[in-house]
A and B are shown apart, each in its own frame.
Chain A
Amino acid sequence: MTLDVNVKALMKNAFRQSKVRGETASRVRVPGGVINAQSMARVVEIAEEFGNGTIFLTNRQGMEIPGIPLEKVPEVNERLQAIIDDSGVNQEERGKGYPAAGTRNVVGCPGSRLCPFGCYDTTALARRMDKAVFPNNRHVKIAFTGCSNDCAHVALNDFGIIGMTEPQYDPARCIGCEQCVNWCKRRSVGALSVVNGKIVRDEDLCIGCGVCVNYCPTRAWTRSPEHYFRLKIMGRTGKQNPRLAEDWLKWVDEDSIIKIAQNTYAYIDEYIDPGAPGGKEHIGYIVDRTGFDEFVKWALDGVELGPKCERASRVYWGGKRYDRSNELF
Chain B
Amino acid sequence: MGFELSREGLDRVLTELGESYLLYAPVLKVGEGRFTDTDVVRYDYVSSVEQIELAHKSDYAFKELLTPLSETLFFFTENECKVADAEARKVIVFLRACDLHAVKRLDQMYLANGPQEDWFYRRVRDRVAFALIGCPESFDNCFCCSMDTNVAPEGWLFSLEQTDDGYRCVVADEQLTEVFAAQAVGEAAFEPAHVSANDTVVRVPESVPVAIYQHSMWDEYTARCIKCGRCTISCPTCTCYTMQDVFYTDNGCVGERRRVGASCMIDGYTNVAGGGQYRRTACERIRFKVLHKVHDFRKRFGYDMCVGCGRCDDICPEYISFAACVNKLADAVDALAAQEVSADE
Cβ of B244 under 8 Å from chain A: yes
- Verify if B113 is at the interface (C-beta below 8 Å from A): no
Chain B residues touching A, majority SS: loop
Interface pair B70/A171, CB less than 8 Å apart: yes
> Bound complex: CA of A138 vs CA of B258, how far in Å?
62
**CB distance A179 to B266 under 8 Å?**
yes
- Cβ of A173 within 8 Å of any chain B Cβ, yes or no, is yes
Choose from A119, A196, A219, A227 the contact partner of B246 (Cβ within 8 Å): A196
Beta-carbon contact of B260 and A223 below 8 Å: no
Contact B70 A112 (CB under 8 A): no
**In whole angstroms, what is the CA distance A165 to B36 when docked?**
9
| Per-residue interface assignment for chain B, residues 50 to 72, with 1 indicating a CB less than 8 Å from any chain A CB and 0 otherwise | 00000000001000000011100
Q: How far is the CA of A197 from the CA of B245 in the complex (A)?
A: 9
Interface flag for A222 (CB, 8 Å): yes
A112 touches B35 (CB 8 A): yes
Q: How far is the CA of A197 from the CA of B248 in the complex (A)?
A: 11
Q: B249 to A172, Cβ gap below 8 A?
A: no
A253 at interface by CB-CB < 8 Å:
no
Please, which residue of chain B has its CB at the minimum distance from the CB of A172?
B70
Chain A positions within 8 Å of B60 at CB level: 218-219
Closest chain A CB from B58 CB (angstroms): 12
Beta-carbon contact of B34 and A175 below 8 Å:
no
Contact status B230-A116, CB under 8 Å? no
* A307 touches B (CB below 8 Å): no
Contact with A along B77-114 (1 / 0, CB 8 A): 00000000000000000000000000000000000000
Interface residue A213 (Cβ < 8 Å from any Cβ of B):
yes
A214→B31 contact, CB < 8 A: no
When distances are taken between beta carbons in the complex, the residues of chain A under 8 Å from B31 are 222-223, 225
**Bound-state Cα–Cα, A317 to B5, Å:** 68
A98 at the interface (CB under 8 A from B): no
Q: How far is B233's CA from A118's CA once the two chains are assembled, in angstroms?
A: 25
Say whether B260 contacts A176, CB under 8 Å.
yes
**Which of the four size classes fits the interface of chain A?**
20 to 34
Q: How far is the CB of A144 from chain B (nearest CB, A)?
A: 14
- The chain B residue with its CB closest to the CB of A120 is B36
Are B37 and A112 in touch, CB under 8 angstroms?
yes
Contact A197/B258 with A215-B228, A219-B40 known, Cβ cut-off 8 Å:
yes
In the bound complex, do residue B42 and residue A219 qualify as a contact, i.e. CB atoms below 8 Å apart? yes
Is B32 an interface residue when CB atoms closer than 8 A count as contact?
yes
Mostly helix, strand, loop or mixed at chain A's interface?
loop
Across the interface, name the chain A residue whose C-beta is closest to B232.
Answer: A217
A94 to chain B, nearest CB (A): 35
Any chain A CB within 8 A of the CB of B195?
no
Give Cα distance in the complex from A214 to B233, angstroms: 15
Question: Known contacts A118-B36, A175-B260, A210-B36; is A196 also within 8 Å of B249 by CB?
Answer: yes
Closest to B71 in A: A172
The interface size bin for chain B is 20 to 34
B261 contacts chain A at the CB level, 8 A cutoff: yes
Is residue A166 contacting chain B, with contact meaning CB distance below 8 A?
Answer: no
Whether B249 and A119, one on each chain, are in contact in the complex, defined by CB atoms closer than 8 angstroms, is no
Query: B233 is contacted by which of A112, A196, A218, A223 (Cβ under 8 Å)?
Result: A218
Given A172-B68, A177-B266, A215-B228, verify A116-B246 contact (CB < 8 Å): no
- What 1/0 flags go to B190-234 for Cβ under 8 Å of A? 000000000000000000000000000000000000001110010
Question: CA of A215 to CA of B230 in the docked complex: distance in angstroms?
Answer: 10
B262 within 8 A of partner (CB): yes
In whole angstroms, what is the CA distance A116 to B317 when docked?
A: 11
A172 contacts which chain B residues (CB < 8 A)?
A: 68-70
| Residue contact B228 to A179, C-beta cutoff 8 Å | yes
Q: Given A175-B262, A176-B260, A197-B260, does the pair A214, B35 have CB atoms closer than 8 Å?
A: yes
B34 touching A218, Cβ below 8 Å:
no
- Contacting pair B36 A112 (CB below 8 A): yes
Contact status B228-A217, CB under 8 Å: yes
Is the beta-carbon distance between A177 and B229 smaller than 8 angstroms?
yes
User: Quick one: closest A residue to B259, CB to CB?
Assistant: A175
Residues of B within 8 A of A119 (CB): 36
Q: Which A residues from 155 to 182 make CB contacts under 8 A with B?
A: 163, 165, 171-177, 179
Residues on the A chain within 8 Å of B34, using CB = 116, 213-214, 216, 219
25 residue pairs from A and B, CB less than 8 Å apart: A112-B36, A112-B37, A120-B36, A146-B36, A163-B36, A172-B69, A172-B70, A174-B69, A176-B260, A177-B266, A177-B268, A179-B266, A196-B247, A197-B244, A197-B258, A197-B260, A214-B35, A216-B34, A217-B228, A217-B266, A218-B261, A219-B40, A219-B42, A219-B60, A222-B29
11 further A-B contacts with Cβ under 8 Å, apart from A118-B35, A219-B40, are A112-B37, A172-B70, A175-B261, A175-B262, A195-B249, A196-B247, A213-B34, A217-B229, A217-B263, A222-B31, A223-B31
